[in-house]
Amino acid sequence: MTTGAAPVRQLDPADATELRRTAERILGATGTSAASPQLLAHVAESAAVLPGTLRHQLRPVDTDDGLFVLRGLHVDDTELGPTPVGWAAAGDSGAVHDVVLLLLATVMGNPIAWHGQQAGRFVHNIVPAPGHETEQTGAGSTALLSPHTEDAFHPGRAHLLMLSCMRNHDRIATTAAGIRNVRLAEDDIALLTRPLLPILPDDAYAEARNFDGGPPPPVPTLHRTDDGLTLRFDPAYTPLDDAPTGHRAAYGRLADELARVSRAVCLAPGDVLVVDNDLVVHGRVPFQARYDGTDRWLKRASVRVPARRTRPLAEASEHGYGQAAVEAHTG
């Protein structure tokens, strides 16, 4: 695992203050929950007039790392309240930070929500949950969260993933590895660009895992674009035992390379990690949850970028295991 720091974009303090004030105004004016789709119209109007200095810091990912950390938002640990014990207990905890994240996401593209995950919210609370410690989801804790593409099973997955840190007293690292930094033989690339194995829905999508509307579609792990390789990778939900020996070996070499170039990103409160979901797989190191109100707490937003073309055209025919995304069309 690499030790170099992730690229950082530092927010101007005045821009951070304006974001917070804008979020407070939106919540006050709408009188609604931060989970409400109706709130997004107000978010879009406000995002359109945010300062140019802020918009510059939210420009597309522009390095082979495929990620950056936006730094400088203010999170008051006492004002925030205790870390919820599971996402379902979170409600509107930290609602102003939900709206701040939605403002940032709306500058970068169109936020999306999933009917089958966290009750259709546009901002997810990522906190450990009792009884889910070993799961390969954001509710897990004691198990290593394997590096993966977010919502890899679905053709409508996000182009960008945003993780906003509320609390991380124990400095629990998010891991990230970019496909543009690996070294792979051409023979391995040729094998992995063939659609051979499916990626199954993860444990956060109970309905999708019971989908009976058609066989799981095989998908390529790698895809060539004019700019370089992209990837769609989730080994925890890929039936690798069904693949020929050569394909499994190539997949293993890719996994080894991703591990070699992986970096540990220890987010602090007020940091927002922005990940290009076509270039970077992310995960999390294991930790022991206390469930005492002080555990790690992230907020997550998923973003589609209009007119972006980084995926195979064949994805359009996939059934997505019956899951539908709600996209906030913001401009």
233-290 pLDDT, tens digit per residue, is: 999 999 999 999 999 999 999 999 999 999 999 999 999 999 999 999 999 999 999 9
Give all strands (DSSP E) within the chain, no chain letters. 8-10, 67-71, 110-114, 124-126, 145-148, 160-167, 174-178, 222-225, 228-231, 263-265, 272-276, 280-284, 297-304, 325-327
- Asked if residues 260 and 172 have their Cβ atoms less than 8 Å apart, the reply is no
Instruction: Tell whether the model's pLDDT for residue 126 goes beyond 60.
Output: yes
- Cβ neighbours, 10 Å, residue 283: 18
Instruction: Tell whether the model's pLDDT for residue 3 goes beyond 60.
Output: no
Report d(CA 293, CA 291) in Å as an integer.
Answer: 6
Buried b (16+ CB within 10 A) or exposed e, 183-200: ebeeebeebbeeebbbbb
pLDDT band, very low/low/confident/very high, at 36 (cuts 50, 70, 90):
confident
Within-domain flag for 83: yes
Q: What is the pLDDT of residues 282-296, one digit of tens each?
A: 999 999 999 999 999
Q: What is the CATH number of the domain that holds 215?
A: 3.60.130.10
pLDDT band, very low/low/confident/very high, at 207 (cuts 50, 70, 90):
confident
- Asked if residues 71 and 264 have their Cβ atoms less than 8 Å apart, the reply is no
Q: Which of 27-41, 174-188, 253-267 has the lowest mean pLDDT?
A: 27-41
Longest dimension (CA), the chain: 59
Element (H, E) at 219: none
Report d(CA 79, CA 93) in Å as an integer.
Answer: 10
Mean pLDDT of 17-25: 96
18: Cβ contacts below 8 Å, ≥ 6 apart: 50, 51, 54
Instruction: Tell whether the model's pLDDT for residue 161 goes beyond 70.
Output: yes
Mean pLDDT of 186-204: 95
- Asked if residues 298 and 87 have their Cβ atoms less than 8 Å apart, the reply is no
Mean pLDDT of 43-59: 95
Instruction: Tell whether the model's pLDDT for residue 66 goes beyond 90.
Output: yes
Q: What is the mean pLDDT of the chain?
A: 93
Mean pLDDT of 63-67: 92
* Structural domain boundaries enclosing 57: 8-327
pLDDT the model gives residue 244 = 96
Within-domain flag for 150: yes
- Asked if residues 312 and 231 have their Cβ atoms less than 8 Å apart, the reply is no
Q: Which two tokens stand for residue 127?
A: 């906190």
Within-domain flag for 279: yes
DSSP letter at 238 equals: S
**Token pair 């400088």: residue:** 72
- Asked if residues 237 and 135 have their Cβ atoms less than 8 Å apart, the reply is no
Higher pLDDT, 129 or 309: 129
pLDDT the model gives residue 329 = 63
Report d(CA 227, CA 62) in Å as an integer.
Answer: 12
pLDDT band, very low/low/confident/very high, at 184 (cuts 50, 70, 90):
very high
- Asked if residues 234 and 151 have their Cβ atoms less than 8 Å apart, the reply is no
The percent of residues above 70 in pLDDT, for the chain, comes to 97
How many domains would you assign to the chain?
1
Within-domain flag for 313: yes
Within-domain flag for 42: yes
pLDDT band, very low/low/confident/very high, at 47 (cuts 50, 70, 90):
very high
Within-domain flag for 30: yes
pLDDT the model gives residue 10 = 97
Q: Which of 134-148, 206-220, 241-255 has the highest mean pLDDT?
A: 241-255
pLDDT the model gives residue 1 = 63
Report d(CA 262, CA 275) in Å as an integer.
Answer: 13
pLDDT the model gives residue 295 = 97
Q: What is the pLDDT of residues 81-116, one digit of tens each?
A: 999 999 989 888 999 999 999 999 999 999 999 988
Within-domain flag for 2: no
Report d(CA 19, CA 98) in Å as an integer.
Answer: 11
Within-domain flag for 1: no
Report d(CA 69, CA 5) in Å as an integer.
Answer: 10
Mean pLDDT of 175-188: 97
Report d(CA 277, CA 158) in Å as an integer.
Answer: 7
